[in-house]
Structure 1
Amino acid sequence: MPAIQLFGTPLSGHCHRVTLLLKMLNLPFELKEAGAAERKTEEFSHLNPLQQVPVLVDGEHVITDSNAILVYLVKRYAPDSHWLPEDPLKAAEVQKWLSRAAGEVRSGPASTRMVKQFSAPEPYDYALALTAKFLPQLEKHVETHEFLATDRATIGDLACYSYIAAVPEGGVSLEDYPAIRRWLKRIENLPGFTPLPALPLPERAL
């Protein structure tokens, strides 16, 4: 059995960003299904009292929060890599995009998908408005940057990728954002990439 266990669900973008890094670092791991029912169990609540996925178990270490897991994996298994640079300014840029993944991306693109595909009780109009504000900003940034934080892919890219790529499943088209689509393709061309399982598109994409 692999030393690393990842508790999550394949359709979760938060889990997908961790899966991407595990595969890109060539780290063997076991994905353990943790759907809504499993997350309410005493066993899972012991791992994460918030009953949220993903949860990474690496030997005796239990790490929760997808972005925290990304930082842990790089620091432990690839400390001198491009995924999280030591340079203060570059590290700050990576942190900025991790924060945007947890902020604008989660409350915008991710929320639109959660409402459309999983009937999540979240404000769809607000998510649409935030997405409409954020995507042009991202488009302008990646018009002049190959990757988000540095000249190579970082965990900031992986943290933002999944829900941006899947935003059409939330009813938002990427047709007007060619630079974003090129950035997505650059992530998809990285060794070890695996796609987020596709869901049906809504009848109307905005």
Structure 2
Amino acid sequence: MMKIYDFELSGHAHRARLLASLLNLNVELIAVDLANRAHKQPDYLAKNPFGQVPVLEDGNRVVADSNAILVYLATQYDQDRSWYPDTPELMAQIQVWLSKAANELVHGPAAARLVTVFGASLDHGSTLDKASALLSIMEQHLTGRNWLVGENRTIADIALYSYTAHAPEGGVDLSGFPQVCAWLSRVEQLPGFVAMPTTETDAKKAL
């Protein structure tokens, strides 16, 4: 059975298990005890030298990095390739958003949430500014369209969804971004959608 090494409050891990669910894949979720640094132990580092969740095991194949897992699942298990279309233009556009998910999203909404939920020693004001800048671009981009790329949902939407949806946990106000909120709702209405648990600001630290 396919396995995902998981931490339920990680948006990176959520995007992997979300796409697996949307593809109706049978997956065993293996919780990684980040609080006790299980992700930094030799057995886990053998799977992912960067010591991060998630990691996917599919038979003898091991795929680390959440965006890489999205690409793998979409190309391996989506027969009609609608989640990751194989036309060069759409692939390039998807890659743009995967890059934003690994950069602006991480340093904006995700980082703001690290401060308020996990007590990270980051400049919260700076993370909020970065979140607002990203959301403003997303708001403009989503005006007049339903999805981030093309006419259909793709892995770009999955890559951006989790930390955007949970941005309010980091003190990010989404009320000024109606197009973004409508897009989040569309993702949540997809058959097979599974939510990421919400958190409280006094949640157990797991850095």
What's the TM-score once normalised by structure 1's chain length? 0.93
> 1:35-74 residue pairs with structure 2 within 5 A?
35-36=33-34, 37=36, 38-74=38-74
Deviations 1:123-155 (A, max 9, x none): 322211111211111111111110001111100
Alignment correspondent of 2:30: 32
What's the TM-score once normalised by structure 2's chain length? 0.93
Deviations 1:140-171 (A, max 9, x none): 11111100011111000000000000000000
- Give the gaps of 5 or more residues in structure 1: none
Q: Aligned to 1:152, what secondary structure does the other structure show? A: coil
Verify the 8 A CA contact 2:75 2:81 in the aligned structure 1.
no
Alignment correspondent of 1:23: 21
Verify the 8 A CA contact 1:171 1:201 in the aligned structure 2.
no
Q: Aligned to 2:57, what secondary structure does the other structure show? A: strand
1:33 CA drift (Å): 0.7
Identity %: 41
Residues 201 and 136 of structure 1: CA distance in aligned 2, closer, same or farther (over 3 Å): farther
1:201 CA drift (Å): 6.3
Aligned residues: 200
> 1:112-151 residue pairs with structure 2 within 5 A?
112-151=112-151
Deviates more, 1:28-37 or 1:76-85: 76-85
Measured in 2, the distance between the counterparts of 1:18 and 1:121 equals 27
Alignment correspondent of 1:196: 196
Alignment correspondent of 2:205: none
1:31 CA drift (Å): 0.5
Measured in 2, the distance between the counterparts of 1:171 and 1:183 equals 20
Measured in 1, the distance between the counterparts of 2:50 and 2:166 equals 25
Verify the 8 A CA contact 1:39 1:51 in the aligned structure 2.
yes
Verify the 8 A CA contact 1:112 1:170 in the aligned structure 2.
yes
Residues 121 and 201 of structure 1: CA distance in aligned 2, closer, same or farther (over 3 Å): closer
Deviations 1:61-84 (A, max 9, x none): 110000001101111111532100
1:96 CA drift (Å): 0.8
Q: Aligned to 1:47, what secondary structure does the other structure show? A: coil
1:200 CA drift (Å): 2.6
1:99 CA drift (Å): 0.7
Measured in 2, the distance between the counterparts of 1:123 and 1:8 equals 27
1:40 CA drift (Å): 2.4
The one-letter amino acid paired with 1:117 is V
Matched, 1:168 2:168: yes
Measured in 2, the distance between the counterparts of 1:133 and 1:49 equals 32
Measured in 2, the distance between the counterparts of 1:193 and 1:168 equals 20
The runs of at least 4 aligned residues of structure 1 exceeding 3 Å deviation read: none
Measured in 2, the distance between the counterparts of 1:102 and 1:163 equals 11
1:122 CA drift (Å): 2.6
Measured in 2, the distance between the counterparts of 1:79 and 1:50 equals 31
Verify the 8 A CA contact 2:118 2:201 in the aligned structure 1.
no
- Give the gaps of 5 or more residues in structure 2: 203-207
